[in-house]
């Protein structure tokens, strides 16, 4: 079954002894009104909380995409993104810092949850201490509140992950059908179940993140902010990680609105590495950034684009911004000379400008060639205000040929891997 990955916050918590994670001891009492809630949120705030959601527009994204490709800062493919994050969290760990990777999605996109499953699945990030998912509820321990009103999905999640209990999995699915209206409405339930399967296959500790529906209704009725839901998730996570020595690596799935500086980030340790990813593509909605990019950008692979400050945008190919890519392997009947190795040959059915890193070519139906270092690269072809982008990998002992059909949103990549 497929599992929606609306929002995943990959919390690679490399928590050193010097980090402050919030007031010690048991959970505090649940606030009774908005004033008490504001006071509690301030008490647990550990990082600057000025700033709302990341403003991503089509024009700004295209500008950033070109700039980041030219500077070698864009990342292509989910495997490339996994490796990029791994290097970041590993460096933070060596420095004794926690790393929180926040995967921010829209709740009408199964593709965004599927990408998160790849990120935390068996071939994803290594050594994750926890994976937190907003769509599942974590048991709470708010002082002065009846335990029965705080029960979430924690028991069923543990039973599924530890024993593969089918009744536990069926109960989780039943509760999602009954309680998660948007997942039912947009057909995301299969992706959420797939996420659970991926987590168990990878031996992950997957945790619920949100409050029980009873607590959510209580804070909503009292006019209290969603910040309490984020604090609930943080307290539940800290309770689980408390008996495990840091640094930790944790992944969290959230809706994009929770990723802002005044959202979940405010509760994270002050000196932790935080990597917020705002994910686009694969939405049910016909509006939004993807619709604004349609006709202006087509991508063959998932792309990650640094977006100023400490924020990152991830684009997933879909029917609005997706392009097809066909890979071919040239039969090795002949050898490549030293001069032919590490060469990228580019042709295009329409004239335009081709960029990869700091190199730029004017391309058309006549092959144009440049030298490219081994490894993964992101390319950009631009013509009359429209762009075609994607990822390619130059082998250390071969060469590549790229044939672009921008009008058809199609790219053919031919690998030559013959040496002497």
SS3 351: coil
pLDDT value at position 343? 92
How far does Cα 327 stand from its chain's mean position? 25
pLDDT tens digits for range 228-285: 999 999 999 999 988 777 798 999 999 999 998 999 999 999 989 999 999 999 999 8
pLDDT recorded at residue 53: 59
| pLDDT the model gives residue 265 | 93
Q: What is d(CA 420, CA 418) in angstroms, rounded to the nearest whole number?
A: 7
In whole angstroms, what is the distance from residue 92 CA to residue 98 CA? 7
Residue numbers in the chain where pLDDT is lower than 70 = 1-25, 51-54, 332-334, 418-420
Domains, the chain, with CATH or none = 8-315 (no CATH), 324-416 (2.60.40.10)
Distance separating alpha carbons of residues 386 and 295, to the nearest angstrom: 7
Tell me, what's the pLDDT at 1? 38
Spatial distance between the Cα atoms of 55 and 53, rounded to a whole number of angstroms: 6
pLDDT digits (tens, 9 = 90+) for 128-141: 999 999 999 999 99
DSSP string, 62-93: HHHHHHHHHTT--EESHHHHHHHHHHHHHHHH
What is the pLDDT, as a whole number, of residue 339? 80
Q: What is the pLDDT of residue 224?
A: 87
pLDDT of residue 418: 67
């Amino acid at each position: 079954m497929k599992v929606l990955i609306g929002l995943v916050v990959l919390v690679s918590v490399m928590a050193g002894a010097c980090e402050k994670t919030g007031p010690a001891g048991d959970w505090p009492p649940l606030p009774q009104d908005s004033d008490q809630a504001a006071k509690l949120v301030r008490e647990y705030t550990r990082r600057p909380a000025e700033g709302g959601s990341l403003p991503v527009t089509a024009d700004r994204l295209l500008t950033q995409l070109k700039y980041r490709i030219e500077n070698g800062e864009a990342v292509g493919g989910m495997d490339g993104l996994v490796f990029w994050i791994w290097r970041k969290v590993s460096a933070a760990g060596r420095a004794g810092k926690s790393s929180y990777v926040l995967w921010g999605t829209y709740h009408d996109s199964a593709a965004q949850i599927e990408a998160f499953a790849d990120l935390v699945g068996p071939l994803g990030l290594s050594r994750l201490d926890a994976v937190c998912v907003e769509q599942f509820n974590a048991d709470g321990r708010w002082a002065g509140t009846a335990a029965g009103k705080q029960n979430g999905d924690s028991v069923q999640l543990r039973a599924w992950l530890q024993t593969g209990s089918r009744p536990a999995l069926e109960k989780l699915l039943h509760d999602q059908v009954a309680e998660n209206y948007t997942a039912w409405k947009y057909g995301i339930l299969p992706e959420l179940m797939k996420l659970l399967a991926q987590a168990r296959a990878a031996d992950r500790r997957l945790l619920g993140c949100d409050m029980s529906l009873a607590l959510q209704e209580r804070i909503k009725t009292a006019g209290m902010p969603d910040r309490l839901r984020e604090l609930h998730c943080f307290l539940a996570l800290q309770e689980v990680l408390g008996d495990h020595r840091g640094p930790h690596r944790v992944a969290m799935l959230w809706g994009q609105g929770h990723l802002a500086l005044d959202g979940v980030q405010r509760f994270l340790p002050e000196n932790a590495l935080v990597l917020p990813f705002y994910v686009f593509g694969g939405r049910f909605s016909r509006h939004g950034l993807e619709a604004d990019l349609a006709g202006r950008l087509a991508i063959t692979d998932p792309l990650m684009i640094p977006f100023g400050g400490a924020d990152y945008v991830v684009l997933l190919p879909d029917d609005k911004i997706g392009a097809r890519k066909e890979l071919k392997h040239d039969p090795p009947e002949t050898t490549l000379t030293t001069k032919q190795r590490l060469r990228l040959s580019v042709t295009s059915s329409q004239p335009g400008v081709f960029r990869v890193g700091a190199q730029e070519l004017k391309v058309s139906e006549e092959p144009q060639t440049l030298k490219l270092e081994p490894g993964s690269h992101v390319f950009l072809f631009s013509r009359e205000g429209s762009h075609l982008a994607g990822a390619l990998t130059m082998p250390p002992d071969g060469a590549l040929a790229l044939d672009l059909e921008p009008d058809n949103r199609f790219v053919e990549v031919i690998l030559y891997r013959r040496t002497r």
